[in-house]
Homo-oligomer: A and B are copies of this chain.
Amino acid sequence: MRRTRFSDWPCTIARTVDLVGDWWTPLVMREAFYGANRFEQFQSRLGLSRNILTQRLERLVEEGLFERVAYSERPPRFEYQLTEKGRDFFSVLAAMLRWGDRWLAGEEGPPIELRDRRTGHLVVPEVVDRETGEPIDVRNVVATAGPGLPKHLASTLADGSIHQSPRRPV
């Protein structure tokens, strides 16, 4: 079964969802953030099939979140090193962690806490408006046409229908 692909939608949320929606991919990234960089490490920590893990790592290399770097020539062995794009993806996981800790943790509190490696202080992620530094309240926000919005979709922005799947020539 092939799922719907969102990667060419005129919406970078949809494009990101396309990546996140490959089951396991966000958890592979989480393991990378927690220090894994070899196939066997990802595999033993997550317990997923080698087949799926191979697919996920290949896509993450293709998309530029990992760089595949040889650490041994004979036998040939590779590590998956986070690129800047890959490291920056932690912001997406951090937002999930924040929301999940607030709404999905049990009464006993969050299972994991982030701490600053240098000072030990508790790091609590928050998604803010860069200009004001305030948490973003969706009720105060509207979506408007950006420079990358295809022209034929711009006129439909007012009624929200830009969010339809783009009609493309096949």
Contacts and interface: CB of A to CB of B under 8 A. Distances in A.
B87 A91 contact: no
A63 B138 CA distance: 19
A140 interface: yes
Interface in A19-44: 20-21, 23-24, 26-27, 30-31, 33-36, 41, 44
- Provide the main secondary structure of the chain A interface: mixed
Of A93, A135, A163, most buried by chain B (CB within 10 Å of CB) is A163
A148 B20 contact: no
B88 A103 contact: yes
Interface of A: 1, 3-4, 6, 10-17, 20-21, 23-24, 26-27, 30-31, 33-36, 41, 44-48, 64, 82, 85, 87-106, 108-118, 121-131, 133, 135-150, 160-165
